Amino acid sequence: MLRWVFFVLIFLAFSFYAFQGLKTATRASWVHYIYIGITIAVLANFVYQFSLGSTGGVLSIGMSYAFGFLLAVLSFNIIILIFLVSEDSFRLISGVYNKFFGESQEFFMPTRRRFLSLIALGLAALPFGAVLYGMVKGKYNFKVLKYELAFDDLPAAFDGYQITQISDIHSGSFDDRAKIEYAVNLINEQKSDVLLFTGDLVNNRADEMVPWIDVFDKLEAKDGKFSILGNHDYGDYVQWETEALKSQNLEDLKQIQKDIGFDLLLNESRFLQRGTDKIALVGVENWGKGGFKKAGDLKLASADVASEDFKVLMSHDPSHWEQKVLKDDYHYHLTLSGHTHGMQFGIEIPGWVKWSPAKWRYKHWAGIYKEMGQYINVNRGFGFLGYPGRVGIWPEITVITLKKKELT
């Protein structure tokens, strides 16, 4: 209870500072009233939603949106706060100077300058608008990203072989059936040879996916649809009454994957065949650094795979690639991961800028990377979690075409 009181007081303090900047920028009282109304409504809704509590530790859609709106207002307040605190520091120094070195020997602080408050408001409107846009449009702004990767030892029959990868569906967050149906159609329009899903079908519970089975079972690929588990699929973030219920939830999720048409790889491998040529598809359970589940067993998953086979590995968390896969005796030509979501926030301008707070936690957080002659693609995710939106890091459908490198 005490931390909630502390949080509300901090939020109100930030809001009061932002209100001062608003008053300096404009004398229109209706603007002030709108700001006060929005601030109170957002804070009240946040407190109300979280006072209802979660069901078994599960964050509801209402709680997610309450957090999103609070984040929008908080980002607005923080930008103004930075400007005003900087200006007030200068004003305070001026006051002290006047007191000790000025002609009047009086403590006198200059008034706030209107143009600085206007600049602060203009800049603060950018993240405020971006966060709201991310909640309304950005979370379903699906992008198809296409890559060609060339390998010396790719079997000849697989030259031009096309893989579609999706990851991090997080069906428990969806709230627009038409948008999801559009995304599934977009996946099918790629007409890839194989479809690979790299984990996190749900947020927490298998039944989150039940309303969406008849949408995702429309997914198509010539050589099949394969999947693995992500950290959220195990139900580890839910307060279960018994271990039996938790175990049953995982079994239910496995059955749902089957109902959708996925061949779920649990530390297993399959071979994709083209005439006499083949490539190995290896799927491990989740393995993540830190406190994340470490059920992935690379040796077990590759038990039926020879060292000379061309290998595509599905592993949910990219930290597995960095800490285990690259160091393995086997050479895994291409690893497909997800997990990071690109933190659902960042700035990406191809060829110019690629930044997200995710880079502070994950060395490999989005897109294609190559080390020691091995590739990884970190998919930015299909769905969203926590903050119900995306800003700059859009939901991704990856299409990778394998090419045989010509010898010169």
Least confident span in 98-112, 192-206, 272-286, 313-327: 98-112
Mean pLDDT is lowest, of 6-10, 150-154, 191-195, 325-329, for: 6-10
- The reported pLDDT for the residue numbered 294 is 96
Average pLDDT, the chain: 93
Express each pLDDT in 38-79 by its tens digit.
999 999 999 888 877 666 666 788 889 999 999 999 999 999
Q: Write the CB contacts of 277 (distance below 8 Å, at least 6 apart in sequence).
A: 155, 156, 157, 158
Q: Mean pLDDT lowest for which of 116-120, 248-252, 269-273, 325-329?
A: 116-120
Q: What is the mean pLDDT of residues 255-260?
A: 98
What is the per-residue pLDDT for 406?
79
Residue 56's pLDDT is: 61
Percentage of the chain beyond pLDDT 70 is 96
For residues 34-38, average pLDDT: 94
Average pLDDT over residues 128-146: 97
pLDDT in tens, 205-222: 999 999 999 999 999 999
pLDDT mean over 352-360: 94
What are the CA-CA distances from residue 307 to residues 45, 86, 105, 300, 311 (Å)? 57, 61, 83, 14, 9
Average the pLDDT over 80-90 and give the result: 89
Can you tell me the distance from the alpha carbon of 338 to that of 233, in angstroms, rounded to the nearest whole number? 13
d(CA 224, CA 258): 12
Which fold does the domain 141-404 belong to in CATH?
Answer: Purple Acid Phosphatase; chain A, domain 2 (3.60.21)
Binned at pLDDT 50, 70 and 90, residue 108 comes out as low
Residue 141, pLDDT above cutoff 90: yes
Pairing relation of β-strands 263-264 and 268-274?
Answer: unpaired
Cβ neighbours for 52, distance < 8 A, ≥ 6 positions apart:
60, 62, 63
Mean pLDDT of 160-187: 97
Mean pLDDT of 160-175: 97
* The predicted structure's pLDDT at residue 59: 72
Domain boundaries along the sequence of the chain: 2-136, 141-404
